[in-house]
Structure 1
Amino acid sequence: MKYTILILLICSKLTAQSITKYFDLNGKEITSEKFNENRVTKKTVYGYHITDTISEYRIVNRSELGKLDKQTFDTLKSMTKPSEQKEFWIYIFYPGVDRCNKIGRKSTWNIFQDDFELELNKIGTYEIQWLAKTQDNNLRDYTNSKTSWKIDPAHFFESTFFNLHYPCFSSVIVDKEGNYVINKAEFGKNQVWDAVKKLKKLKRNN
């Protein structure tokens, strides 16, 4: 009888671990086939959240424009202490190792190229901070003279901007009024340039 109960418990746990759900951009549950057809487009990417009992995969907008409330904005400034002399604060976020960012060699990511910051200088003044959910061995492939990785303070950026695991890396660009643009999942220098330009245009229009 004891062995029967043990087997049932093991089977129950395995069954619970096997539950996987997929959701579209509107939060509606969809099939895995439909999810795979639409998970990555010019405007959308996907994020996921995995626990012992369920794996959820969600299609989301690739870019998001918003504004922080005063309390959250004050917390961001308190935790990261950005220079008030800069117009834009650029935060690069590493979510931990995944199939997208595990490459096993030194990265040639285009935000490490010299023209990344040269172009930023033409747009405005800025500061870059490199934040990581975890500092694991994989991060060494993304460490060079341009980077200075620090742990996400109190998981602030993860809980505020990146509530799902977005593959590769993500970024959030914030201006001094608390407006922000998030680039979720894999992105490059062009997406950062576009985000800074978008915030600059927003400031001009206000």
Structure 2
Amino acid sequence: MIKKNLLLSFIIILLVSCSSSKEGKRRTRYFDENNIEIGKSKFNQIRATSLLLDIPGDSVHHKKLTLREKRGQISDRPLLQSILEDQTKQKLDSLKPIVILYYPGKDLCNSSGSVEVLSRKFWYDTLEDGINQIAQIKPIYIYKDAEGLSKFEGILNWHKDPGGTIERLFFQYHYPCGSFVVISKNGDYISYFGEFTKDYVWNATNQMNQ
């Protein structure tokens, strides 16, 4: 009986080991933004242009490209506004766009470099001045995971994503560095994934303020 148990245990261990070995050796498959499989070299060539980002695919061995800008419409802008007002304790204008800068959590992109505090403050002050000139509003800073936000202490006031609402509506994946979304008074929106410039935010705000 003991020998049978030992034999059975050995077989199970052997099967698990073989399965793990095959899983580890499985080649990575690459897909474009339309979910069409492409070669690794073409994938890297497209990714190098920074026009698209790579995200996890349907498997741990899949990598997929995604467009950096998305346009759409949410079904209930008043509800989103109410949720944000409760979370931030500030009143939002229902006739104005909502600008959200989103921090997904610490990653290699947003934790690298050594930008001085004054330079970081100047960047966001300039960003906010531009948004104010366009729509007379201020952006809302939302985070999913607070790790790494200490560098913004004394500069920005970040708010926890209420119930994961912003992530669920606009940011399906962890896009590197951070992202933003601008929602119009009618619920139309422009979202941009990954590292962005001030001009991108200003342009989206201008379009959603029409």
- 1:146: Cα distance to partner? 3.4
What does residue 45 of structure 1 align with? 52
Superposed counterparts of 1:108-147, under 5 Å: 108=119, 112-136=123-147, 138-141=148-151, 143-147=152-156
What does residue 102 of structure 2 align with? 93
Superposed counterparts of 1:51-200, under 5 Å: 54-70=60-76, 73-81=77-85, 83-84=92-93, 87-103=96-112, 105-106=114-115, 108=119, 112-136=123-147, 138-141=148-151, 143-200=152-209
Q: Could you say what secondary structure the match of 2:140 adopts?
A: strand
TM score, norm. by length of structure 1? 0.80
Q: By percentage of residues, which structure has more helix?
A: 2
* Inter-partner Cα distance in structure 1 for 2:172 and 2:190: 15
* Inter-partner Cα distance in structure 1 for 2:160 and 2:99: 15
Unaligned runs of 5+ in 2: 1-6, 86-90
TM score, norm. by length of structure 2? 0.79
- 1:96: Cα distance to partner? 1.8
Is contact 2:121–2:155 with CA below 8 Å preserved after alignment?
A: no
- 1:106: Cα distance to partner? 4.9
Is contact 1:49–1:165 with CA below 8 Å preserved after alignment?
A: no
- 1:161: Cα distance to partner? 0.9
What does residue 5 of structure 1 align with? 12
Is contact 2:128–2:139 with CA below 8 Å preserved after alignment?
A: no
Q: By percentage of residues, which structure has more strand?
A: 1
* Inter-partner Cα distance in structure 2 for 1:185 and 1:35: 18
Deviation track 1:51-103 (CA, whole Å, cap 9, x = no partner) reads 9x614432222222222113xx3442232125126622111111122221122
* Inter-partner Cα distance in structure 1 for 2:102 and 2:79: 17
Sequence identity, in percent? 28
